[in-house]
Structure 1
């Protein structure tokens, strides 16, 4: 017979997983896969001891994996996109013109703004980082700017647009789960997101001042430009390919077919424009593009991409979601959240607890979708009982869930960024300013009551009617 999970029992897999994760990453300097597998085994054992059959535990793991399958497909397509766009000269063209146009001292501000605009238009932080972000890394590195700074600026811009775009899946998910009008939800997020991006841009402006003309080796930039011209056919017409992908997604074409169009055009560009062979173009899709220019920085940047390069990320996603699936579907996560609710009495503490719970879910379940779905289920009734408008919950879910996923190296977002931008979460974390500023702002608002919306008397009556109807049903 299944026993309800107590907090002391439910916390066991998390404590063991985090301890093993710390030892493995910090002491052994190894990846997070094995600690997550250990956590999954412990969670399965705890669930079995609590009365769950192996078939039920197995199904919980499958449910977790199924939730991540859309992300797995996008990860694979981004790997193919990087391979085809590098081989087709598209990335080289973006870097070439970027080096000629963007001032080093304003690069961090510029790349943040560009990624914000693109992500706002297409509603996808991952697609933005996998395309514009890759080119941005090349431009910034050529200017002598440290990779963690560049990655932090790209991430801040990409997540600003993702968070506020009506096309974003996480934005629609948070609004839908809380039964909040989409544009009411987006408008309420402006209170935390606009101050967050303002702080980020100020920080990037200050950081960028050290990379003015006097602090940058222009000879290195000139050499990079020369190597690009020698190694690729540079043409402004190649910029039409990323522009087309952005337009397709902005026109509400789903991300998968839009990326496939970009991959096909990059593949054809490598053969027709760059003069490569069909075998080489297929190889770039499978194992990534390969080139030897004699310039170490250019070689490191362009020898990448392809399906194979994303298998680390795919395997991490699957392993992480087996762990998260058991925690959610056997009631362990619910037990932990219920324990938190015992101490969250005021409206402010409930909102702050939601933000912290979302971050904790990102750290333990390794998937930003779960960090939105589970707290939404757990806290919805509490918000209604306290007379809080659902837009407070939807905003807290995004502030604490969507944005903090990038800080967890074993979260699907952290792993994706490592595979795409080549920078570890612990390295770019101090520079992803928007992503840590917004949750802090959200908690400050919660504790002061600023922008925390209450239900009107008429809305409270309607909520009570809906709750009564649910109970009767």
Structure 2
């Protein structure tokens, strides 16, 4: 039997699990309207069989699956905590208060623009798109749909704003990861991303302004809005003091409290609000954390908006993340993703085509490995030497990884980001995809800029020398 590190996976074999998974996924979702779990499981089995036939030991294949799961554990933990935040903030009247005042002060025609900007500011401050969508985003969905705006449009605006802030924040884990894996100064990386991300945000805001006009020109159903406000007042204690809960959460993260402890404090504050502000009992508040909040106001729209959250509601998401990461882990650990990316490198011969290939590869990795962190890590490792060989500054690579990896992850229904958004905002990725304008505008802008050679930064002779020394140190540390 060959040594594991000596096994070369042929491209035509590496692509088979992907073809099987995507083909079965398409058939399952479109024909049967089923869940993605089984296609991912079948894809994992096919990948394992091919790896075994290539002389990979079962222990190696199994380790790849477990490695994928371990990589997703932080995301799984956050998903579960966000489920508790949603239920505790609804039970504590926090979401109701945000929706109540939002309906009174936000103009329907400007809502899409407004919620995009608000989510962008919050995400920029705290560095987390997930935390922003799980808190401000949930309230935004309630406000927007109450105004008669389609949920897919509202979700798209929330996602665009949240990912803008996440991508540009020095507190963001993906931003730091992209800079770190490529050896780029963090603030140089952020500055270089402005060339693609700022135009993408401007395009998104223009689109949201245009889309919002149809809601401003039509007559708002004032009776329907008043019915929602009445239902909220009848079932919750509405108080501006409750707005201190989300403010406290944002303040904690700005003070660099890690995401998990900050979110747990947010859950605890919502829990206390349900007992001491809304007059609930401890047993009911505990059950809400697990089972979610159940609303029975008699107003169908309000009941639908506020019956959600809890640990139980996130189990579909958790199981899907595990299935997806098993598939991605096997592909990466057995060299299949590497074989696919190497094939792409044969086509990308110029500096311009290399950047385009990096963006495309990051998106491709999101599809195959189902995790945005892998979409940054894998192409980042694979393309680092190619960028050096072509005299390209590492910030070109770090920006391309974020443009193609971070921003495209919400479009994949089985990616951890896609399943989180579905669980949190209750809108399918295929529905909100046309309206998440920033997320597809930025990769397109990045590829167009690369194609015409605009803002491609080359290394000076001294920078080339320093870059090689830095990469050598990083490789040595990785081996250790």
Where on the TM-score scale, by shorter chain, does this alignment land: which range? Answer: over 0.9
- Give, in whole Å, the separation in 2 of the partners of 1:297 and 1:400: 37
Structure 1 position 279 matched with structure 2 position 286: no
CA RMSD of superposed structures (Å): 1.4
Structure 1 position 404 matched with structure 2 position 408: yes
Gaps of 5+ in 2: none
Given the superposition, is the C-alpha separation of residues 276 and 468 from structure 1 closer, same or farther in structure 2, using an over 3 Å criterion? closer
- Secondary structure of 2:206 counterpart: helix
- Give, in whole Å, the separation in 1 of the partners of 2:99 and 2:56: 55
- Give, in whole Å, the separation in 1 of the partners of 2:55 and 2:30: 35
- Give, in whole Å, the separation in 1 of the partners of 2:241 and 2:466: 57
Report the CA distance between 1:214 and its aligned residue. 3.2
- Secondary structure of 2:347 counterpart: coil
Please give the residue correspondences for 1:249-260 in structure 2 after superposition, counting only pairs within 5 Å. Answer: 249-260=253-264
Q: What is the match of residue 422 of structure 1?
A: 426
Given the superposition, is the C-alpha separation of residues 12 and 237 from structure 1 closer, same or farther in structure 2, using an over 3 Å criterion? same
Q: Check the 8 A contact 1:104/1:213 in 2, yes or no.
A: no
- Secondary structure of 1:291 counterpart: coil
Residues 209-247 of structure 1: per-residue CA shift (max 9 Å, x gap): 011163321211111111111110000000000000000
Q: Check the 8 A contact 1:178/1:393 in 2, yes or no.
A: yes
Q: What is the match of residue 186 of structure 1?
A: 190
- Give, in whole Å, the separation in 2 of the partners of 1:308 and 1:127: 19
Residues 140-164 of structure 1: per-residue CA shift (max 9 Å, x gap): 0110000000000000000000000
Residues 246-267 of structure 1: per-residue CA shift (max 9 Å, x gap): 0000110001110111100100
Residues 279-330 of structure 1: per-residue CA shift (max 9 Å, x gap): 1101110010012111111001111000000001100111100000011111
- Give, in whole Å, the separation in 2 of the partners of 1:252 and 1:5: 43
- Give, in whole Å, the separation in 2 of the partners of 1:79 and 1:229: 24
Please give the residue correspondences for 1:340-355 in structure 2 after superposition, counting only pairs within 5 Å. Answer: 340-355=344-359
Q: What is the match of residue 42 of structure 1?
A: 46
Please give the residue correspondences for 1:148-163 in structure 2 after superposition, counting only pairs within 5 Å. Answer: 148-163=152-167
Given the superposition, is the C-alpha separation of residues 321 and 467 from structure 1 closer, same or farther in structure 2, using an over 3 Å criterion? closer
Structure 1 position 292 matched with structure 2 position 329: no
Residues 392-421 of structure 1: per-residue CA shift (max 9 Å, x gap): 000000000000000001111010000000
Q: Check the 8 A contact 1:288/1:309 in 2, yes or no.
A: yes
Q: What is the match of residue 136 of structure 1?
A: 140
Structure 1 position 82 matched with structure 2 position 86: yes
- Give, in whole Å, the separation in 1 of the partners of 2:223 and 2:217: 11
Instruction: Tell me the matched-pair count.
Output: 473
Please give the residue correspondences for 1:81-100 in structure 2 after superposition, counting only pairs within 5 Å. Answer: 81-100=85-104
Report the CA distance between 1:332 and its aligned residue. 0.5
Q: What is the match of residue 389 of structure 1?
A: 393
Q: Check the 8 A contact 1:116/1:159 in 2, yes or no.
A: yes
- Secondary structure of 1:215 counterpart: coil
Report the CA distance between 1:67 and its aligned residue. 0.5
Q: What is the match of residue 175 of structure 2?
A: 171
Q: What is the match of residue 452 of structure 2?
A: 448
Report the CA distance between 1:471 and its aligned residue. 9.7
Residues 185-223 of structure 1: per-residue CA shift (max 9 Å, x gap): 000000000000000000000000011163321211111
- Give, in whole Å, the separation in 2 of the partners of 1:464 and 1:27: 52
- Give, in whole Å, the separation in 2 of the partners of 1:317 and 1:469: 34
Q: Check the 8 A contact 2:204/2:437 in 1, yes or no.
A: yes
- Give, in whole Å, the separation in 2 of the partners of 1:443 and 1:381: 20
Q: Check the 8 A contact 2:100/2:232 in 1, yes or no.
A: yes
Q: Check the 8 A contact 1:292/1:299 in 2, yes or no.
A: yes
- Secondary structure of 1:110 counterpart: helix
Structure 1 position 460 matched with structure 2 position 464: yes
Report the CA distance between 1:7 and its aligned residue. 0.6
- Secondary structure of 1:342 counterpart: helix
Q: Check the 8 A contact 1:151/1:423 in 2, yes or no.
A: yes
- Give, in whole Å, the separation in 1 of the partners of 2:211 and 2:222: 19
Report the CA distance between 1:463 and its aligned residue. 3.7
Given the superposition, is the C-alpha separation of residues 255 and 465 from structure 1 closer, same or farther in structure 2, using an over 3 Å criterion? closer
Of 231, 241, 244 in structure 1, the residue corresponding to residue 245 of structure 2 is: 241
- Secondary structure of 1:444 counterpart: helix
Q: What is the match of residue 101 of structure 1?
A: 105
Q: What is the match of residue 18 of structure 2?
A: 14
Q: Check the 8 A contact 2:183/2:470 in 1, yes or no.
A: no
Structure 1 position 110 matched with structure 2 position 114: yes
- Give, in whole Å, the separation in 2 of the partners of 1:411 and 1:249: 25
TM-score (norm 2): 0.97
Of 21, 27, 42 in structure 1, the residue corresponding to residue 31 of structure 2 is: 27
Given the superposition, is the C-alpha separation of residues 370 and 226 from structure 1 closer, same or farther in structure 2, using an over 3 Å criterion? same
- Give, in whole Å, the separation in 2 of the partners of 1:63 and 1:266: 35
- Give, in whole Å, the separation in 1 of the partners of 2:221 and 2:273: 32
Structure 1 position 228 matched with structure 2 position 247: no
Q: Check the 8 A contact 2:355/2:450 in 1, yes or no.
A: yes
